Structure formats: C-alpha cells, structure tokens
Amino acid sequence: MALAYIGLGSNLADPQGQISAALAKLEQLEHCLVTKVSSLYFSRPMGPQDQPDYMNAVVAIKTSLTPLDLLDQLQSIENNAGRVRKDNRWGARVLDLDILLYDQQLINTERLTIPHYGIKLREFVLLPLAEIANELTLPDGDSVKILAEQIEKNGLKVHSKLR
C-alpha cells in the first residue's frame, strides 16, 4: 500500500464541520486507511483577501488506490460537500482536498501534480504536514522538518485537534 498525504481546507459553510465531515468520508473510503491526522489550523487566505480565513489540516493515509483513482475519490467528496469549481483559483471554497504526496512518486500530468506544487510555499500545508510527518523527506531530498522551521508563519494558528 502507498502512503499518501492529503491536505484539507475550507473557509465557507462551517469550515470546521466541513473538514470533520471530509475526514469521516476519508475514513470510510474503500482501499484507504487514515493513519495520522494533524491539528486543525487557522490560516489567512491566499490570493484575494476579501474572503474568510481558512481552516486547514493534513492527514496521512495508506491506500491501494492509484493516484488518479484517489484524486477521483477526493473530488467526489468535494463535489458532495457542495464544491463549485470556478475560474478564481484562490477564491473561497466549501472544501478543498489535495494530494500532497503519494509515496515518493513524481507525477506531472494535466490532472495531477505530485508533490503538490505549493507544498514548500504554504505554511498551512507544511506545518500540519510536519506535525504528523516531521521526519519525512520530500522526493527532491528536502526535509519537511527543516522546511517547516524556515517557513514564514503568516499568522497561522493551531485551532484544535481533529481527533
């Protein structure tokens, strides 16, 4: 089974409830086992600032799904939560589920990029990831622990434990 890390984010329609519900759906996915769950974090929005702050978390899963099958399952969870895909890349959203890493694979297709292109640049991804996988090394050899120590926090705050 592959080890994958999934980023969860929401800033609309009860973000904490959205993330908790998404976690429950991840725990119910066939061929997937949630092994670690980060705390829930408050973060400022990327892009337009005229939207609510986000809540973010990262989970580790073991899965026998292929990366694209996993992506399909995550997008189904997003759609069922009411996610509407818009042209505004960094706009407000009910739920955002991103595959951050899938083992040490490098994938760059029209539908999927792994590692996630923003993994090293986003404190709201990197710090929850470091919380549950501090000794992890990215496919390019960079240490999650060192990256997390060096990244600007941008007001990121731990909110609570998810479970």
C-alpha 118/C-alpha 114 separation (Å) is: 10
Per-residue b/e over 82-119, b at no fewer than 16 CB within 10 Å?
ebeeeeeeebbbbbbbbbbbbeeeeeeeeeeebbbeeb
Catalytic residue among 14, 72, 89, 96: 96
Catalytic residue among 14, 69, 87, 98: 98
Q: Is residue 98 annotated as a catalytic residue, yes or no?
A: yes
Q: Is residue 50 annotated as a catalytic residue, yes or no?
A: no
Catalytic residue among 83, 87, 111, 122: 83
| Cβ(108)–Cβ(96) below 8 Å | no
Please give the distance of CA 111 from its chain centroid, rounded to a whole number: 16
Q: Is residue 122 annotated as a catalytic residue, yes or no?
A: no
Residue 136's closest CA among 102, 97, 99, 96? Answer: 102
Residue 7: partners with Cβ closer than 8 Å, 6 or more residues away: 56, 57, 58, 96, 97, 98, 100, 116, 125, 128, 129
Kindly list the catalytic residues: 83, 93, 96, 98
